[in-house]
């Protein structure tokens, strides 16, 4: 069996950290006969891969995402997957401009394509936007949990939780009608088929929205509509209400994952908030090809091309709106970047948990933390956040010292649910009826729509549901914890899932287990009560809640979601190990560029590697791999106990120093084991060299901080520069090289 680990190279902070950590991993795993193979999933690499005909032979790159999409179906697959940019349109355009400036003759992104050539170019680019990587690689369901050593450390060294007041004005606002939740229709396919989606206009014209979508017997298929008129009315009322209540205003979306629907909603928020400006300068904005869906930053960059007097007039109008409207939450106070500047800046699953951690407050214009109105337009999952906030108002902040843990089994395989809906989501051009037709042209579902409405269709394969239920039962039995399925019987999609869950549970002999099914709003209250008493629980959820809950609960438990262990059990027997969230990745890069201090925490990567090595040890009977895994697990405990995570402050331990300690502790644990004399001897020498040079190495690493750095690019940094900056210590590199050369 091929003893190989595929290691993904991605973007921003994870990529910088990997350039420091991966040489250590490669040197250590080589002693067990394990090969590390890199695959580049960065946004830049993905762009270049789809436009080979525009590039010189030297510039062309392999389509690593396509290759990995096939490899995840291999029973021997063992992949460590780091977070990558789920690009918004703004990020995509920025990356294209950077690549062009570096001599890559790729085409511009055509925002409004004309002709077949531009339409084809846009189609290729759109495949790269948003969550383009995860649906391809996640050929299995998700198992996410807090490792025991991490939980033990969090209880011993709890993070700070801000106090909650019963008088807090922070609250969630969501639609009560005409959103995706309230318009959802769902069916279960009785046979394998190919369905088509068409728009039948009121004037009789028919437009094909989706020519062909293969479906399987037993598959769940949903359709839903977010109605433009209801959305705009809702947003207008919430903006006015925030002003009246004197709270900050924040629209909570996930444009990086829901790359079609959420930017549209984001654009409506901007055009309503700045309605006076759009009314006054609509013709100018149209001439500049301004699209509010891209955010204020893109708008301002285009306004900046106007004459000084025109710019001054328009910016004066924006300032006037800022003064009279509700106050927006801020992303970066120093640069004046609000939560409406870039659609991918605000990620609901990261931003709301941190607000809950901070007494329900967010940052305002004046630098103060204030109560906030959290607008979550679609009401499907809003009750989770609403009830968590209300729970904190009633009971006060949770105590990390005594809090139980919430693990998660997520229905993720084969592009399940909303996160696989991108190619089936459409902005409706005119009024009519969207019809979903089977192969014989029979109408399976239909939705009445008007111009500007968002139509969305989702699917879930029956094999994915069966594996999801099996995995949930398996984890519940292994951990001796209750399993709670977060499903709403009043939602058509969930009602079908509940039927399938009950059907599959009967086949799995679960009499010895405590298994419940609850709607998300009720489930979160039950879970909060449960973990407040110090007990653990297993949440078994759909794809979106998998994402939301594995940020919400870890941030409450640990103060971060980056320390979660995330394992995807691939349907054909392989394993994909994910390394945590990347919400802070852009900010940490900015700090590095400004101060030369880098504080990305690689613990998620280390945890994933531990499991990956254990998997090789078990499946390949590789004792050395098993020893490496066990030693790394013990090294991680020592790493946590001694608090060797990167500091937030410049001129203190950063990511590079943190990696030194991981190498030191890992070598020390291998030198202390008695199962393999060869490893004991090799790493005894390595540990001794690291110990003897500890002070010198740490001093050299600290000397690299305090001044700004230039990576030679953001989306495609210069590789030699990155290597030099992330591996600046000659003494450390020399010890590592001596190990690699053995």
Give the DSSP H or E segment for 493. Answer: helix 492-506
Q: How confident is the model at residue 158 (pLDDT cuts 50, 70, 90)?
A: very high
| Token output for 381 | 């999952």
How many C-beta atoms lie closer than 10 Å to residue 367's C-beta? 9
Note whether 504 and 470 are within 8 A (CB). yes
- pTM, rounded to two decimals: 0.87
Residue 311 confidence (pLDDT) above 90: yes
CB 385 within 8 A of CB 376: yes
Q: How many angstroms separate the CA atoms of 565 and 603, rounded?
A: 9
190, 217 in Cβ contact below 8 A?
Answer: yes
The number of CA neighbours under 13 Å toward the Cβ of 412 is: 29
With H, G, I as helix, E, B as strand and everything else as coil, classify residue 650: coil
Using the structure block, give the residue that is written with the tokens 């009445």.
Answer: 448
- The rounded Cα 93 to chain-centroid distance in angstroms is 20
pLDDT of residue 2: 65
CA 298, CA 86: separation in Å to the nearest integer?
Answer: 18
- List pLDDT tens digits, range 23-50: 999 999 999 999 999 999 999 999 999 9
pLDDT grade for 86, boundaries at 50, 70 and 90: confident
Nearest-angstrom CA–CA distance, 144 and 221: 26
**Structural domain boundaries of the chain?**
1-86+131-139+572-742
Distance CA 291, CA 578 (A): 35
Ordered alpha helix ranges (H), 127-254: 134-137, 148-156, 180-183, 228-245
List the structure tokens of 493. Answer: 């999609």
Largest CA distance in the chain: 82
As a whole number, mean pLDDT of residues 368-388 equals 98
Q: What pLDDT does 1 receive?
A: 54
Residue 637's φ and ψ, nearest 5 degrees, are -60, -45
Return the closest-CA partner of residue 603 out of 651, 640, 569, 558. Answer: 640
| The token pair that represents 629 in the structure block | 């895994």
* pLDDT at 582 > cutoff 70: no
Q: Packing angle between helix 623-641 and helix 148-156, nearest 10 degrees?
A: 10
Nearest 5°: phi and psi at 589? -65, -45
For 338, list phi and psi in degrees, rounded to 5.
-90, 175
CA distance 357 to 359: 6
- How many angstroms separate the CA atoms of 689 and 484, rounded? 50
Structure confidence by residue, pLDDT tens digits, 162-186: 999 999 999 999 999 999 999 999 9
**Range 629-633 average pLDDT:** 96
- 67 by DSSP, 3-state: which? helix
Is it the case that residue 620 has pLDDT exceeding 80? yes
Which of 696, 698, 665, 695 lies closest to 683, judged by CA? 665
pLDDT in tens, 693-706: 999 999 999 999 99
Res 352 pLDDT > 60:
yes
| Count of residues in the chain | 742
Calculate the CA dihedral of residues 252, 258, 260, 264 and round it to 10 degrees: 0
């Amino acid at each position: 069996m091929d003893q190989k680990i595929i290691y993904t190279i991605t973007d921003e902070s994870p990529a910088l950290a990997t350039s420091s950590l991966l040489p250590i991993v490669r040197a250590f795993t080589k002693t067990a006969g394990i090969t590390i193979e890199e695959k580049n999933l960065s946004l830049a690499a993905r762009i270049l891969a789809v436009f080979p005909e525009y590039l010189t032979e030297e510039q062309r790159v392999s389509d690593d995402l396509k290759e990995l999409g096939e490899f995840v179906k291999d029973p021997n697959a063992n992949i460590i997957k780091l977070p990558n940019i789920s690009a918004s349109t703004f990020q995509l355009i920025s990356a294209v401009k950077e690549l062009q400036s570096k001599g890559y003759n790729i085409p511009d992104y055509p925002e409004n394509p004309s002709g077949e050539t531009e339409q084809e170019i846009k189609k290729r680019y759109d495949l790269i936007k948003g969550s383009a990587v995860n649906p391809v690689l996640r050929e299995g369901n998700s198992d996410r949990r807090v490792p025991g050593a991490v939980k033990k450390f969090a209880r011993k060294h709890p993070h700070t939780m801000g106090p909650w007041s019963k008088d807090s004005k922070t609250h969630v606002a969501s639609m009560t009608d005409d959103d995706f939740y309230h318009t959802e229709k769902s069916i279960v396919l009785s046979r394998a088929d190919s369905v088509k989606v068409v728009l039948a206009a009121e004037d009789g014209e028919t437009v094909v929205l989706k020519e062909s979508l293969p479906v399987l017997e037993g598959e769940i298929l949903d359709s839903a509509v977010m109605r433009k008129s209801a959305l705009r009315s809702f947003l207008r009322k919430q903006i006015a209400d925030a002003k009246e209540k004197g709270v900050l205003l924040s629209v909570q979306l996930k444009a990086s994952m829901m790359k079609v629907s959420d930017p549209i909603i984001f654009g409506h928020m901007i055009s309503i908030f700045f309605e006076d400006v759009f009314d006054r300068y609509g013709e100018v904005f149209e001439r500049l090809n301004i699209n509010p869906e891209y955010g204020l930053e893109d708008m301002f960059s285009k306004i900046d091309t106007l004459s000084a007097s025109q710019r001054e007039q328009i910016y004066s109008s924006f300032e006037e709106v800022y003064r009279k409207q509700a106050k927006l939450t801020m992303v970066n106070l120093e640069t004046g970047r609000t939560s409406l500047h870039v659609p991918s800046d605000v990620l609901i699953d990261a931003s709301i948990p941190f607000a809950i951690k901070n007494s329900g407050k967010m940052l305002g214009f004046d630098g103060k933390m204030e109560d906030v109105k959290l607008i979550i337009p679609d009401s499907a999952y809003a009750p989770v956040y609403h009830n968590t906030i209300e729970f904190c108002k009633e009971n006060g902040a949770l105590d990390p010292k005594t809090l139980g843990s919430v693990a998660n089994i997520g229905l993720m395989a084969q592009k399940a649910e909303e996160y696989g809906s991108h190619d089936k989501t459409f902005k409706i051009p005119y009024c009519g009826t969207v019809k979903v037709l089977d192969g014989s042209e029979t109408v399976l579902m239909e939705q009445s729509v008007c111009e500007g409405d968002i139509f969305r269709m989702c699917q879930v394969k029956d094999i994915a549901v069966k594996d999801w239920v099996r995995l949930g039962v398996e984890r519940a039995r292994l951990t001796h914890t209750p399993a709670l399925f977060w499903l709403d019987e009043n939602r058509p999609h969930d009602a079908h899932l509940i039927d399938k869950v009950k059907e599959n549970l009967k086949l799995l002999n679960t009499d010895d287990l405590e298994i419940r099914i609850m709607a998300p709003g009720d489930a979160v209250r039950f879970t909060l009560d449960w973990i407040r008493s110090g007990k653990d629980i297993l949440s078994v959820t759909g794809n979106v809640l998998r994402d939301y809950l594995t940020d919400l609960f870890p941030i409450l438990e640990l103060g971060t979601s980056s320390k979660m262990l995330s394992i995807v059990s691939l349907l054909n027997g392989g394993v994909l190990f994910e390394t945590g969230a990347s919400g802070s990745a852009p900010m940490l890069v900015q700090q590095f560029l400004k101060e030369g201090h880098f504080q990305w925490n690689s613990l998620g990567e280390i945890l994933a590697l531990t499991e990956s090595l254990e998997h090789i040890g078990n499946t390949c009977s590789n004792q050395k791999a098993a020893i490496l895994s066990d030693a790394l697990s013990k090294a991680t405990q020592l790493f946590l106990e001694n608090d060797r995570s990167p500091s937030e402050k410049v001129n203190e331990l950063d990511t590079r120093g943190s990696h030194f300690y991981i190498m030191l502790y890992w070598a020390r644990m291998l030198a202390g084991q008695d199962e393999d004399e060869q490893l004991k001897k090799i790493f005894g020498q390595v540990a001794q060299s690291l110990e003897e040079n500890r002070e010198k190495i740490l001093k050299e690493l600290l000397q690299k901080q305090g001044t700004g750095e230039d990576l030679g690019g953001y989306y495609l940094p210069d590789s030699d520069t990155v290597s030099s900056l992330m591996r600046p210590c000659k003494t450390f590199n020399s010890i590592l090289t001596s190990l690699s050369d053995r």
